[in-house]
Amino acid sequence: MSHNQQSVTAEPLVRVTVDTLPAAPALLALARFRYAPKARFGPAAGPGPVAFLVESGSLSFSAERAVSLRRGANGGSPESPPPNKEFTIEPGDEVLIPGNVVHAVRNTGSSPATILGAATFPGGGPPKSFPDGVDFQPLVMSMVSTLASAPAEYAVQRVTYAPGSRDPETYYSGPGLYYVESGTPILQVIAGDVQIVSDPAGGGQPETVKAGHEVQLSKGQGVSIPAGAVVSLGNTSSRPAVVLSLRTGPAFSAAAIDIRQVLPNFVHSVMDAANPAAVARFLDPTFFSHDLPPASTALIEKQGDFGVANFLKTTIFPAFSGFETKFPTLISDGDLVAGHWVQSFQHTGDGYFGARATGRPVTIDGFTIVRVKDGKIVEHWEQRDIGTWHRKIGLGFPLGPLESRQGTVATVAAVTDPNKRVVAEYFSAWNTGARATLDRVLSPEFRNNQVIEGQLPGREGIAQLMEALRSSLGGFRVTVDLLVSDGSGTVFSRVRYSGRHQATLFGVPPTGRDVEFAAIDLFTVRNGVIVERWGQLDESSLAMQLGVLQPPGGP
């Protein structure tokens, strides 16, 4: 029911998916209702959705249309009680009432009952008065100009901050609220303007805290956070602080989104918007990247959203700006999404690999494959044209052109998709050196859209690269990790090349080192043969393993 991370403990209270929301502007509210024994409310209907948790006591509830009930809140599955049938709700139960659904609540017991709820009221607010015995206790209410797009998720948590603890930067894709139950937490505003609400009934003037500032909160104060803001809460006092948090945002689910859009949405919202704080919106907490960023050896940058956001914030965005990314090709295959992208940006800051800003524009392309679960990215593979990138900004790149060598694929695994099978046969030719197999799976008109410096065009260039790697790397092997296809003839592959460096490769004399480097390719298959290829291999990883490239800061 709760988890602890870096002395910040979060207890989930309410988590619902709202299918319909009113138009903004609207009043977003976090409030309690206290029902005295024998007190009752309704029948009545509110114009916006209400989600609440029974905190204490028991209540009888009925509704004229469908509502969602979850016994034990986060511990159970949603139910849909029959309309017009009264049922009992008890502590830990969660109820979602859609807008304009007539419902009634009554306390049939001998003890008071309390519920904690989140509600959205279009353009106004809750009723001005309530029946005897029903006590409305607003915690924080605020008018918001933008609501999350439906279907939207509403999540209420009770968060406890130990002394000295702090949340990571949190991006709000939809508006949210904080309410301080105890202690004196510190609110840091990174982006957007937030409102401090000291009058829960909404009659007082809120205080604005602008980006780049922080403020100490006290018990009973609320915070209204607009969509697009980035904030962080911490506790510098010697006593714990407890805060109720309401977050709203798009509900990520297979039924709610086109899985293919997760990848471009991530790139546009993070890279093109230069907003590393938005990373957490798209990456699952268990996120793992199989491919490190350019010339990086920091394992933290492979795991979790923090590592990715930190790399962008400390390495990429200080040196480069004006990112614009387009996706010429984007497909999905089960839970995998694969994309070929072209990205333009400008070298506007100092520091990247020690380089001074040149102001030069850079355009590179790359290939990304991600695995998506519940609308978030959990696994990631990526290759980009780092050679062009570095040469464009005057850094140069230590690998030279491909050697010209003459020379002459493991057994094709059980692959049922015919297009994937052709690509699998292509890579099996690399493992055995069977030029005849390579010529059979590559069309005579095969076009290689991305050639390495020194590489021949067409089929001859593929054979040249295969032979160079097989001659240079003892015990050479290609391992196929992924084949992604949508059935149209478009196939993405992610493979790893490995072997011992025993002869000159890309101008680097033999080192005797064991190397392994990845590549992602995009193939077009027609009539059983490959007619076109795009692709990138991990030149930076290879260069580091050969000892001719050091990551920023040294080994």
Alpha-carbon span 365 to 373, nearest angstrom: 26
- Report the SS3 class of residue 132: coil
Question: Distance between alpha carbon 30 and the CA centroid of its chain, in Å?
Answer: 27
Predicted local confidence at residue 363, as pLDDT: 96
* Residue 244: partners with Cβ closer than 8 Å, 6 or more residues away: 13, 30, 116, 139, 156, 157, 158, 159, 177, 178, 179, 181
Predicted local confidence at residue 407, as pLDDT: 33
* Residue 232: partners with Cβ closer than 8 Å, 6 or more residues away: 166, 167, 168, 169, 170, 187, 188, 190
pLDDT tens digits, 5-35: 346 788 889 989 898 888 889 999 999 999 9
pLDDT tens digits, 504-534: 999 999 999 999 899 999 999 999 999 999 9
Same fold, 259-392 and 418-545: yes
pLDDT tens digits, 31-90: 999 999 999 998 998 888 999 999 999 999 999 999 999 998 555 678 889 999 999 999
**DSSP-assigned letters across all residues of 215-239:** EE--TT-EEEE-TT-EEEEE--SSS
Helix (H) or strand (E) holding 468: helix 458-472
Q: Which two tokens stand for residue 84?
A: 């017009």
Query: Is residue 25 reached through a cis peptide bond, with omega within 30 degrees of 0 on the bond before it?
Result: yes
Predicted local confidence at residue 176, as pLDDT: 94
- Answer yes or no: are the C-beta atoms of 96 and 20 closer than 8 Å: no
* Beta strand pairing call for 176-182 and 241-250: antiparallel
pLDDT tens digits, 156-211: 999 999 888 877 667 677 899 999 999 999 999 977 899 999 887 666 788 999 98
- How many Å is the Cα radius of gyration of the chain? 29
Alpha-carbon span 521 to 442, nearest angstrom: 14
Strand partners, 63: 103
Q: How confident is the model at residue 223 (pLDDT cuts 50, 70, 90)?
A: very high
Of all residues in the chain, the percent with pLDDT exceeding 70 is 89
Q: How confident is the model at residue 442 (pLDDT cuts 50, 70, 90)?
A: very high
Instruction: Using the predicted structure, report yes or no on whether residue 106 has a pLDDT greater than 90.
Output: yes
Q: Which CATH class is domain 418-545?
A: alpha beta
- Answer yes or no: are the C-beta atoms of 13 and 1 closer than 8 Å: no
Q: How confident is the model at residue 127 (pLDDT cuts 50, 70, 90)?
A: low
In the 3-class helix/strand/coil scheme, how is 268-310 assigned residue by residue? HHHHHCCCHHHHHHHEEEEEEECCCCCCCCCHHHHEHHHHHHH
Instruction: Using the predicted structure, report yes or no on whether residue 232 has a pLDDT greater than 60.
Output: yes
pLDDT tens digits, 331-380: 999 889 999 999 999 999 998 888 899 999 999 999 999 988 878 898 88
Predicted local confidence at residue 58, as pLDDT: 94
Residue found by looking up tokens 């000892």 in the block: 547
Q: Which residues of 357-386 are buried (b: 16+ CB within 10 A; e: fewer)?
A: beeeebebbbbbbbbbeebbbbbbbbbbbb
What CA–CA distances, in Å, run from 545 to 121, 251, 382, 463, 504?
60, 43, 18, 24, 14
Q: Which residues of 119-153 are buried (b: 16+ CB within 10 A; e: fewer)?
A: bbbbeebbeeeeeebbeeebbbbbbbeebbeebbb
pLDDT tens digits, 459-483: 999 999 999 999 999 999 898 888 9
CATH architecture of 259-392: Roll (3.10)
Predicted local confidence at residue 23, as pLDDT: 87
Q: Which two tokens stand for residue 136?
A: 């409305």
Predicted local confidence at residue 290, as pLDDT: 80
- Answer yes or no: are the C-beta atoms of 545 and 517 closer than 8 Å: yes
CATH number for 3-249: choose from 2.60.120.10, 2.40.70.10, 1.10.1060.10, 3.40.120.10: 2.60.120.10
Alpha-carbon span 362 to 384, nearest angstrom: 13
Q: How confident is the model at residue 219 (pLDDT cuts 50, 70, 90)?
A: very high
- Report the SS3 class of residue 356: coil
Alpha-carbon span 151 to 97, nearest angstrom: 14
Estimate the share of the chain in helix, then strand, then coil, as percent rounded to the nearest 5: 15, 45, 40
Predicted local confidence at residue 203, as pLDDT: 64
Mean pLDDT of 223-244: 90
Q: What is the pTM of this model?
A: 0.55
* Residue 10: partners with Cβ closer than 8 Å, 6 or more residues away: 2, 3, 157, 158, 159, 160
Predicted local confidence at residue 254, as pLDDT: 45
- Report the SS3 class of residue 211: coil
* Domain positions in the chain: 3-249, 259-392, 418-545
Alpha-carbon span 110 to 37, nearest angstrom: 5
Mean pLDDT of the chain: 87
Instruction: Using the predicted structure, report yes or no on whether residue 1 has a pLDDT greater than 50.
Output: no
- Answer yes or no: are the C-beta atoms of 30 and 246 closer than 8 Å: yes
